[in-house]
Amino acid sequence: MDNFWNEYPVMKSDLEEVTRIMKKSIKCKEKLVENAILELINSGGKLLRPAFLIIAARFGNFKEEEIYPLAAVLEMLHMATLVHDDIIDNSELRRGTETIQAKYGKGYAVYIGDFLFTRCFKILSEHSTLKGINVDSNVMSRICMGEIEQFSSKYNKKVSVRRYLKRISSKTAELFSLSFYSGAMGSGCDDKLCKRLSNIGHDIGMAFQIIDDILDYTSDETALGKSVGNDIKQGIYTLPLIYVLEKKNQRLSDILDKNTLDERDLREINNIVRDSGGIEKARELAEKYTNRAFKLIGTLPEGENTNILLRTTEKLLVRFY
């Protein structure tokens, strides 16, 4: 587990139990599949989504035996989407280590992602209500549509900021929002509080993804834990680049029209995006979502749980990029 939660011993203990449930749930006769998923679980992720579910659940009647399995489901859903993402993007690195598709091949990776989905719904069938399963299913549908939208807009130099925001809302913010909502609903919070927490998750997710896309221009491969510039090579244009494309930068357009991009091309794209203000403008939008999240957190009941959420959000979003 990442050291992100070291200063919160109770939360770290919660997430260790969630990890135990995940490891138990993916046991199967096919050891290659089981071991591949264990590698994912042990790869050092921050476990943000299960952590946010647990934080939200503590605003209600927290029952470990019900909340921990739901938290495990959220992380496993996330893992499944990452496995499939890496297949589509032909990514070789994830969190600084070799991806499932790079190590075992695309065929195994498809089935491993599918297996994770089946494990999720098995846990849900034992620990969730029909309403909860319906909510989770709808969110997964929207995530899939976000992935399809991204795929269909590849190499589209006319992609708009609005379309980008709709894409990341589906791909990233939906699962953050679901984490908060599922935790609140699972612990019996009223509808108003469930909705407020869901909105906090959405704003955190939007800011988180924009910041992640900025890091693709400002970080190196070692710090980022994945291949820098891979999105551009794959024809996936994110917010800093979209802002510059809107300015009709001819040099940028000419580079993107090439059949293949080499490292020199990527460096030039990076310089153009920096010099044209794309990164700075993307930062401003990330800050707007961050501030909206902080404002909503300020309306939550006072106490240690709200303080942990506030400090965690600061640590996650108010970072160097």
- Three-state SS sequence of 258-312: CCCCCHHHHHHHHHHHHHCCHHHHHHHHHHHHHHHHHHHHCCCCCCHHHHHHHHH
pLDDT at residue 244, rounded to an integer = 96
Determine the pLDDT at residue 321: 44
> H-helix or E-strand containing 120?
helix 106-127
Range(s) of the domain holding residue 86? 3-317
202 pLDDT band, cuts 50/70/90, is: very high
Report the alpha-carbon distance of residue 265 to residue 239 in Å, rounded. Answer: 19
Summarize pLDDT for 229-252 with one digit per residue, the tens: 778 988 999 999 999 999 999 999
Is the pLDDT higher at 144 or at 253? Answer: 253
Q: Above 90 in pLDDT, residue 44?
A: no
- State the total domains in the chain: 1
Q: Letter for the amino acid at 99?
A: T
Neighbours of 128 (CB within 10 A): 21
Residue 146's domain is classified under what CATH number?
Answer: 1.10.600.10
CA 133 to chain centre: 20
pLDDT of 88 above 90: no
Alpha carbon distance 53, 47 (integer Å): 10
- Of 120-124, 146-150, 238-242, the range with the highest mean pLDDT is 238-242
Q: Is the pLDDT of residue 223 over 70?
A: no
pTM for the full model? 0.92
CB 183 within 8 A of CB 56: yes
User: β-pairing, 93-94 with 97-98?
Assistant: antiparallel
CB 54, CB 11: distance < 8 Å: yes
CA dihedral 110, 113, 118, 124 (to 10 degrees): -160
Pairwise CA distance, residues 25 & 22, whole Å = 5
Contact by Cβ (8 Å): 51, 7 = no
Residues in the chain: 321
- Using a 10 angstrom Cβ sphere, with 0-12 exposed, 13-18 middle and 19 or more buried, the burial of residue 105 is exposed
Q: Judge contact between 99 and 128, C-beta under 8 A.
A: no
